[in-house]
Amino acid sequence: MLTQRLLLSDRGGMLVLGLVVLMAIIVPICNLALPSSSPFYISNFTVGLLGKFLCFALLALSVDLIWGYAGILSLGHGAFFTLGGYGMGMYLMRQIGDRGVYGHPELMDFMVVLNWEELPWYWQGFDMFWFAMLMVLLVPGLLALAFGWLAFRSRVTGVYFAIITQALTYALMLAFFRNEMGFGGNNGLNDFKEILGFDLAEKATRAGLFVASAISLVLGYLACRYIVTSRAGRVIVSIRDAESRTRFCGYQVESYKLWLFVFSAMLAAVAGALYVPQVGIINPGEFAPLNSIEMVVWVATGGRGTLFGAIVGAFSVNYAKTFFTTYSPETWLFILGGLFVLVTLLLPNGIVGLFDRFRRKGDK
């Protein structure tokens, strides 16, 4: 019954999930088991890149959930992603221990530079993995709860909501740039050594993180799918299409939006937490409003309102970004900008919509 609801009725989703699972099996094997001379060998760089894309896909999923299904455009989802990343980063920093440049058993290098005497209270407990992961979920979740509660209760919608979320991430960026905040200022957190006792420079650890990202993506997808196919999911779609009418029918529009927003923020935070150990750095630049808008473009390009479309979008736009920034960095912004315009003008349903159109033509 549940399989029918989550998977079988969703052919595109099954296809995309199948590809993700396949990738999660093949990529680590080709990376670890094959010698680097083999034509099927997948380099460490590619594993890292694909792992990054998997995190972005999870992030795109969280954006699509609120934008595609509830019509809430958040231009500040990067804030939740980065906060999650900082949570993981703080755990990884505490794991460095006395192996930092200054060799202090407890303080981070940047705290030693600032002449701090002891660990700030908000860094306490981050040496425990379970606590750090709890915070990864709780901090962005609570921020989304407070922010969403204030915003939805006073019926801030549409463009206004988009602009204040953008201001939120902008304000966080400015705040995290300050050294006094205790998050490493401009340089952020980096130079990580190990996670759960596994060396981060080790090939197997990286492959493990890759598999973890793929599993998170699949679980995240199923959770989102569960939500949108539930009764509550239908209410959410009806809020997107006719908010006032749904309210008049007696539904608590605000609480539906709020809990969906909180869930989406936590999903973004998980993506951030998986992203940080794979790229090895987190800094306030991730809060930049441009990043948050890029996420929206992934979703728009892939196909807004279909969950697997978000995954397709995240992979294709990021692949294009990697390709163009490597071979012709000048043109990347032209292409990204052009993509914004073209997708909104010509492809309102994204790549997935394009396939649908072809298929419908074929059916005729």
Partner 1 sequence: MNPLCRITPRHTLHALLLWLICLSPLQVSAQTPESEPDAQSAAAPTTAQPSFEQLVQQLAGGSLRERAATVKQLSSQRDERLADIFNALVAGDLLANKEKPPTIAIREGEKLTDALTGTDLTGTERLRRIPVNNGLRTQLRGQVAQLNLSHPNTDKRYAAVQRFIRDGVDEETASLLRAHQEVEESGRVQDAITTALAVFQLQSGDREIRLAAIDELSGSLEQEARNALRGIAENDADAELRAAATEAIESIQGRISFYRFVENLFFGLSLGSVLLLAAIGLAITFGVMGVINMAHGELIMIGAYTTWGVQVLFPDLIEWSLLIAVPAAFLITALVGIAIERGVIRFLYGRPLETLLATFGLSLVLQQAVRTLFSPLNRSVSSPEWISGALNINPVLSITYTRLYILIFGLMVFFALMLVMKRTTLGLKVRAVSQNRAMARAVGVRSSWVDALTFGLGSGVAGVAGVALSQLTNVGPNLGQAYIIDSFMVVVFGGVGNLWGTLVSAMSLGLINNFLEPYAGAMLAKVLVLIMLILFIQKKPKGLFPQKGRAAAD
Point out which residues bind partner 1 (CB under 8 A): 73, 147, 150-151, 153-156, 158-160, 162-164, 166-168, 170-171, 174-175, 177-178, 289, 293, 296-297, 300, 330, 333-334, 336-341, 343-345, 348
Output the smallest distance, CB 125 to partner 1, in A.
26
Output the smallest distance, CB 71 to partner 1, in A.
8
Output the smallest distance, CB 147 to partner 1, in A.
8
Q: How far apart are CA 221 and CA 194, in angstroms?
A: 28
Output the smallest distance, CB 265 to partner 1, in A.
16
Output the smallest distance, CB 261 to partner 1, in A.
14
Q: How far apart are CA 187 and CA 143, in angstroms?
A: 24
> Which segments within the chain are labelled E, that is strand?
189-190, 194-195, 198-199, 281-282
Nearer Cβ to partner 1 (251/340) = 340
Nearer Cβ to partner 1 (175/219) = 175
Nearer Cβ to partner 1 (177/198) = 177
Nearer Cβ to partner 1 (56/221) = 56
Query: Do the Cβ atoms of 235 and 256 come closer than 8 Å?
Result: yes
Output the smallest distance, CB 189 to partner 1, in A.
19
| 212 class by beta-carbon count within 10 Å (0-12 exposed, 13-18 middle, 19+ buried) | middle
Q: What is the DSSP-derived secondary structure letter of residue 178?
A: S
Nearer Cβ to partner 1 (178/357) = 178
Query: Do the Cβ atoms of 207 and 42 come closer than 8 Å?
Result: no
Nearer Cβ to partner 1 (34/174) = 174
Nearer Cβ to partner 1 (252/344) = 344
- Between the alpha carbon of residue 276 and those of residues 136, 200, 339, the distances in Å are 12, 11, 27
Q: How far apart are CA 360 and CA 299, in angstroms?
A: 22
> For residue 308, what are its two tokens?
């697997």
3-state secondary structure 282-306: ECHHHHCHHHHHHHHHHHHHHCCCC
Output the smallest distance, CB 126 to partner 1, in A.
24
- Dihedral sign for Cα 329, 334, 339, 340, please: positive
For residue 300, the tally of other CB atoms under 10 A from its CB is: 26
